[in-house]
Chains A and B, each alone.
Chain A
Amino acid sequence: MFRILLRKFSEVFLFLLFIMFVSFLFIRLAPGDPVLTILNVEELSVSQEQVEAMREEMGFNDPLFVQFGKWLLDFVRLDFGVSYSTGQPVMATLLRALPATAELTAGALLVMLLVSVPLGSLSALYRGRWIDSLSRMLAIVGAAVPSFWLGLILIDLLGVRFAHLPTMGRDGFLSLILPSLTLGLAISSVYVRLLRSSLLDSLSQEFVRSARARGLSEARIFWLHALRHSLPPVITVFGVSLGSLIGGVVVIEVLFAYPGIGKLVVDAIRQRDYPLIQGYILIMAIVVFVVNALVDLSYRYLNPEMQLKEKEAAR
């Protein structure tokens, strides 16, 4: 277990270092002088002396390898310096926006579960009936609908025409509804069909018949035996498609002007605020690593066979 995590971590870390190095090069070689960017934001007219002073202060006049060394040291200390656009420390800015994104993601996952578990289960239990056809239609269309368009439609319907849910910003529970609903619906189309096919596979297993022969109720068989047996493929796909979830968060946050780190990074990209972009990459790498570790752990919980095999292998 530990060794696997270590290997995963080193993979993520190496790639991270690579991206960091590339982004370092970009910062230094990018068109548009970051010093000018910063100074332009703060003042209207900039004198040559000011530019030079700033350069010296930020260490841009040092040789490149010295700069990289310094930068690497900061990187290890999780210090990404100061945002070009706001002048605030990058890490603090990102951490302040993180809870908002966490709320949105949790809300979206809740919506996803509330949609895909009942719909997936019903289409497995009533295979070939109208509910099954309905979920298949929804899945096909859902795979083709861009999340931001779904959001625009929901804004139009629930934010303007038939209800007046907040469509902008983050101000209490109500403002969370539309973004979570949009993102949740956008990602659930995959899971409905996946859960359905996985459940169909589980329900046709012998152990279900054995449980039935022992007089267990259908509800008990479904919830305690078949459903759990169906989860590993769903979790696998969740782990694999984590990236599209993170990307979805970015799009939805921009769409709803929701002040999370996704919105933050898009603004940063527009303003060429490289320190902020770097900080975002690092946080995402941590998120990806943690989620992957959780996925691995959940396999172990769902499948005791794996757990024991590893124990034996470790011996």
Chain B
Amino acid sequence: MKLRKTKSIIPGFGLTFGVTITILSLIVLIPLCSLVVYSAKLSPAEFWHTITRERVLSSYCVSIGTSLSAALVNVFMGLALAWVLVRYEFPGKRFLDGIIELPFALPTAVAGISLTHLTTTNGWVGKIAYDLFGVKLAYTPLGITIALIFIGIPFVARSVQPVLEKFDIQYEEAAVILGASRLRIFWTVIFPEILPALISGFTLAFARGVGEYGSVVFISGNIPYETEIAPLLIMSKLQEFDYASATSIALALLLLAFVILSVNAIFQSIVSKRISGMA
């Protein structure tokens, strides 16, 4: 058995490995290398100057702030959705389960224009919000958050759902027998189990939100310093053929995404170690 590890009798390694590496290089590796090569040409001072300009910094703030609040809303709603779909039986459940994936299937630009029209002060939803609370939705950070909530709905729900499905009901039954209240059971028995899935769903939704473009450009109104998101700033630098600035802003954004995903990866490995250590 040990020998087979290096030499398999199944044919086709050369061919499939070759095709894999060739396509991977053409589509992913070479373009990424060109990003690295191009950014190596930028001087650190120039890079720093670009990303610390006030307009750029405020675009990062808008992107991070709105993605963070949208991801938080999605943590709560995603948990509620997963809970409802796993634990309860009710008419229309299958429909609810199917429609969660809509943000993945619906083109972002289509979602964007529709959400914009709904939330302007004349729109179906925006009019109610404006008349009742005097709140404007479209063309404000609130509007961006709405678009990002839309985009992020499936992430948390779909990562928590399988964990909740596998969760052994015996622990809960034991807790009930020991006389724990429902709330206490949720916090001390169920919540620690689903926490890793919640956090990984949160990170995915957050990272997706920071980079999102299509659904946000229409609803944001793109007012500099207020509702201008970082991806849009990259886009406008590209349209001015200012590749150096575009690349600098993009690098900082990539770094941020990398940090977000690494924090999650580290957290997940700590949790899985703890679980396997206990077992």
| Same complex origin of A and B | no
